[in-house]
Amino acid sequence: MARRGKKKGRPISGWLVLDKPVGMGSTEAVSKIKWLFQAEKAGHAGTLDPLASGMLPIALGEATKTVPYVQDGAKVYRFTVAWGEERSTDDLEGPVTKSSDQRPAEAEVLLLMPKYTGVIMQTPPQFSAIKISGERAYDLARDGATVDIPAREVEIGRLDLIEHNADRTIFEVECGKGTYVRSLARDMGRDLGCFGHIAELRRIEVEPFTQEDFVTIAELEAARFGERSANSDSAETVDAPVDFDAIDALLVDTAAALDCLPQVAISDDAATKIRLGNPVIIRGRDAPVEAEEACATARGKLVAIGAIEQGMFKPKRVFAG
């Protein structure tokens, strides 16, 4: 039998709420964070385009098991629409495809905005990660194909106008999973008869995380390396003994991603049984009797996600102690 290779990295777990800079791709950001923490495993909870900045929640270790709950959370974006041009990518990256000398008055924009709140139908951009016949739409678009992407239902909780001038309008939007802000800019531009595209885009919230959780690359490098060169990624620097306490302190606990679920406090004995895959009786006056999903904690630490049926917690996904 082939021998299993030894896992590389530390078994560190938690969420790093990165303030991603413009120009860095999401995959690149995950690799950078994984390297800085020397983590065994890392993944992100929702792609953020290289031209966008802001919140990219990155899960390390056991926190990767909670990624779907963060992906499903509401997002808040602050974005600027430049009027007068529509572009192939619906942002600054692509060439201009349509243009107009017309510019909207603030009153016209305000009058239009209610159309884009609530549950609406939205067609994703040509340059998007939507799969068409097994291929990514952006790959087909780069090859010059015009892709017929079906419209789909998305939910926009609120859309606020922050600032308006002749050529640009700044908005803030709170939206659900699957919403494309680039499509919002494109569609509003068409409705206003002047065309439009995203000039700036910043994600400022991904439920349950807020701007107070933001950590920058510079802060991470300072915590990781101290007075040593933060720009060195040589083998000598990586292999040198490191005190990880400072950088580990920047992580948000794994359980934070599950604030949306009922919480059940259990004993250490019950935690041991659950981690072995066994159900346990939930005790306590306030314990829920039924729940499709809930999370069990012991001494404030996440133990498992599971269902509560007839007063028993039945684990579906357990977490290392």
Respond yes or no: is residue 269 known to be catalytic. Answer: no
Joined together, the tokens standing for residue 159 give 């859309």
Kindly give, in sequence order, each residue whose CB lies less than 8 Å from that of residue 180, ignoring residues fewer than 6 positions away. Answer: 90, 122, 124, 125, 128, 154
> 3-state SS of 250-304?
CCECHHHHHCCCCEEECCHHHHHHHHCCCCEECCCCCCCCCEEEEEEEECCEEEE
Joined together, the tokens standing for residue 13 give 């777990």
Question: Is the Cα dihedral 274, 279, 282, 288 positive or negative?
Answer: positive
Joined together, the tokens standing for residue 88 give 């192939």
Which of 19, 49, 90, 91 does the annotation list as catalytic? 49
Decide: 173 and 202 in contact? Cβ < 8 Å: no
CB atoms within 10 A of CB 115: 12
Q: Evaluate the omega torsion of the peptide bond into residue 68 and state whether it is cis, within 30 degrees of 0.
A: no
Task: Give the three-class secondary structure for 121.
Answer: strand
Task: Give the three-class secondary structure for 157.
Answer: strand
Q: So which residues are the catalytic ones? A: 49
